[in-house]
Structure 1
């Protein structure tokens, strides 16, 4: 029996051998029925993305809100007290784009502590935006980013001290339109490699409340090991998670070649590659 796991392709990282709009068709040919993206705003107009989603019978399950000056080192502005206007502009752009493509989740990046990120500010701004998000059919997602990859991120762990727990921010916001984005890659980087009881415990704890899940192998952020992925995804299922699991990784040797681990979930390279 095939596991009840629905994978989504992160088109900012997979199928990058093709232009952005061509990646939707490639993902569909490999068996994906859902996609997600990091920052699609400069990649293609929302109308063009919506057309590709309809053409291939797919859904977009997640986008990130614009993060500020990414090239300049910013990793979100939502928790920066002096960037309220930029935060509001970021959410406006994300909401308009998400509505146009039918995307129900927007990941809001908090920002870096060394740039002034403040948890109270983050909570207050998410709480203030939650009503509008709910009216638009959008869930605001909060994610922990591991301190090795993103030093100084406001929420650096999902499994260490409670003061660093993204789930606590979601609890503090206290609104159904704010949910937890649970990334198994960041979990493994911040806590311990799989297999470990720390990772098992975190999956059991957060699976029931996750609004979205993502996966990658901890070494080099490449495709996950098949056995490790199967074990972690089984724990997610046991915990009651029924949403999509985003394949948010950098393929080590080409997207198609690296999808062997996902064959159990209905994802595989087509027999004939498109010309």
Structure 2
């Protein structure tokens, strides 16, 4: 869930799983959402015009989707850090088409598996390529650190690594595509996932304040798991707050 039931978007990879993919759009609208994000590869099993038509019919906006990430069932978790150039270019071409048809303003480029030392040069080259291609149409490219517990071996697994990556890639981009709030559209930004941050680093408020500017996109990922955590693991919540209170306060600023 990124930061309407207003201000929020329904993540169709996590919500309404009891029904087929396109039917989840109806469920999202019935639940009061006006926007969705799509982090499931099921998206690419449907033609972009078919998905666009379904979104329009329900009055929904797709605000984010994951780029094709390779063969998920075979263990691939993204193509940017280690796949062949041909595979990444194919993923990028598909992304350009879907982003245009769905009128989606941002995409998540998954890094994939691989050690930081051996894959970082390839990763940054591919990110720069994606930003240059998608940025011409005003689409932002997001990167998201994912904790090693949930995805062992994932290339991007800390906020400092993400921030360093954005700085390094942005230095090679024209000013209008450099990460930062001053860039109106396009560029490389951070997808700040509350769940992953809590596992990787803890101290949510401090880390969001530290990494929220200038790189964070207008997209925070919140998980129902975190709401449950506030009931059973209160020591993980920001000091003096439940997660519900923290979410209301922080999404007011970033949504």
Q: What TM-score does the superposition give when structure 1 sets the normalisation length?
A: 0.74
After the TM superposition, which residues 120-269 of structure 1 pair with which residues of structure 2 at under 5 Å, given as runs?
120-158=121-159, 162=160, 165-174=161-170, 175-176=178-179, 177-192=187-202, 198-208=203-213, 209-211=215-217, 212-218=219-225, 225=230, 227-237=242-252, 240-242=253-255
State the superposition RMSD in angstroms: 2.5
State how far apart, in whole Å, the 1-side matches of 2:118 and 2:23 are.
37
- Pair 218,56 (structure 1): closer, same or farther in 2 beyond 3 Å: closer
| Structure 1 runs, 4 residues or longer, greater than 6 Å off | none
- What CA distance in whole angstroms lies between the structure 2 residues aligned with 1:133 and 1:224? 37
For residue 60 of structure 1, the aligned residue among 59, 62, 65 is: 62
How far apart are residue 115 of structure 1 and its match?
10
The 8 Å contact of residues 5 and 32 in structure 2, kept in 1 or not, is answered as: no
Inter-partner Cα distance in structure 2 for 1:79 and 1:70: 15
Distance in 1, matches of 2:15 and 2:228, equals 10
Residues 139, 179 of structure 1: 8 Å contact kept? yes
Write the distance in 1 (CA, Å) between the matches of 2:193 and 2:249: 15
In structure 2, distance between residues paired with 1:34 and 1:78: 27
Indicate conservation of the 8 Å contact 2:9/2:34, yes or no: yes
Aligned to 1:259: none
Which secondary structure does the structure 2 equivalent of 1:106 belong to? strand
1:46 corresponds to which of 40, 45, 48? 48
Partner of 1:71, secondary structure, is: helix
**Alpha-carbon distance between aligned partners in 1 of 2:59 and 2:205, rounded to the nearest angstrom:** 35
1:5 and 1:223, CA in 2 relative to 1: closer, same or farther beyond 3 A?
farther
Specify every segment of 5 or more residues in structure 1 that has no aligned partner in the other structure, as ranges: 193-197, 243-275
TM-score (norm 2): 0.80
Contact 1:215 1:224 in 2 (8 A): no
| Equivalent-residue separation in structure 2 for 1:229 and 1:123 (angstroms) | 36
Q: Which has the higher contact order (CA 8 A, sep 6+)?
A: 1
Alpha carbons 2:12, 2:38 under 8 Å: kept: yes
* SS of 1:132 mapped into structure 2: helix
Shift in Å, 1:114: 5.4
Deviations 1:207-244 (A, max 9, x none): 3331121011557xx8664831331441353xx423xx
Paired with 2:220 and 2:12, the residues of 1 have a C-alpha distance of 16
What do the CA deviations read for 1:165-191 (whole angstroms, capped 9, x no partner)? 212211111134111111001111212
